């Protein structure tokens, strides 16, 4: 497995759009395994490919339906197909370590994605799973969670993190 390191804000790759995966080959399989290990080693619950410097539409995350916390999901080329409700969640990010803030997300989402075998999967999620899916999906579009804050909260938050990461 490759040794991956999490990119930290303000690394410019974190604000770039990821490209779709055309072929799920051995390289992609190895990448997803390494991403899961990196996420676990970092005590994270989700990790996107851009966070490890790879602009591919892939993310991995914990499967919150597994109470033992040992099952992980791999989503390739994910798309949100439906959403409903609104919920406030306190979020942090492995790429902005030590900073947390409340933001709004959809309460429930339906997402489709390819699994590691290239099979299309549909995910109907709510609660923490829905929030993690949305957070990681944002990364694939170059969006960090402070972008989801109100303008005034975002300005204050960005001043704090810019000062901390200089």
CA distances from 148 to 22, 72, 91, 99, 154 (A): 30, 26, 11, 14, 8
Per-residue pLDDT reduced to its tens digit, 8-31: 999 999 999 999 999 999 999 999
What average pLDDT does the segment 37-41 reach?
Answer: 96
Catalytic residue among 107, 136, 147, 155: 136
Tell me what pLDDT residue 158 has: 87
pLDDT at residue 162, rounded to an integer = 83
DSSP 45: S
Residue 102 has pLDDT above 80, yes or no: yes
Of the candidates 104, 107, 103, 105, the residue with the CA atom closest to the CA atom of residue 85: 107
Domain range annotation of the chain = 12-164
Q: What are phi and psi of 142, to 5 degrees?
A: 75, 25
Q: What is the mean pLDDT of the segment spanning 53-73?
A: 93
Mean predicted confidence (pLDDT) in 57-83? 94
pLDDT of residue 93 exceeding 70: yes
Q: Which residues contact 70 (CB under 8 A, 6 or more apart)?
A: none
Torsion of CA 124, 39, 8, 58, to 10 degrees: -50
pLDDT in tens, 112-160: 999 999 999 999 999 999 999 999 999 999 999 999 999 999 999 889 8
Tell me whether residue 20 is one of the annotated catalytic residues.
no
**DSSP letters spanning 47-76:** EEGGGGT--BSEEEEE-TT-TTS--EEEEE
pLDDT for res 1: 62
Mean pLDDT of the chain: 95
Q: pTM of the predicted model, to two decimals?
A: 0.95
With contact defined as beta carbons under 8 Å apart, do 105 and 87 qualify?
yes
* CATH fourth-level superfamily of 12-164: Peptide deformylase (3.90.45.10)
């Amino acid at each position: 497995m490759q040794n991956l390191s999490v990119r930290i804000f303000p690394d410019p790759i974190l604000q770039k759009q990821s490209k779709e995966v055309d072929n799920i080959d051995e390289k992609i399989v190895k990448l997803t395994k390494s991403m899961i290990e990196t996420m676990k080693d970092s005590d994270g619950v989700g990790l996107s490919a851009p966070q490890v410097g790879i602009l591919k539409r892939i993310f991995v995350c914990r499967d919150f339906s597994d109470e033992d916390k040992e099952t992980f999901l791999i989503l390739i080329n994910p798309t949100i197909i439906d959403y409903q409700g609104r919920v406030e969640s306190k979020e942090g990010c492995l790429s902005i370590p030590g900073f947390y803030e409340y933001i709004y997300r959809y309460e429930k989402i339906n997402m489709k994605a390819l699994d590691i075998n290239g099979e299309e999967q549909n995910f109907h999620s709510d609660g923490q799973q829905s929030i993690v899916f949305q957070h990681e999906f944002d990364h694939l579009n170059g969006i960090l969670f402070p972008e989801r804050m109100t303008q005034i909260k975002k300005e204050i938050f960005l001043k704090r993190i810019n000062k901390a990461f200089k």
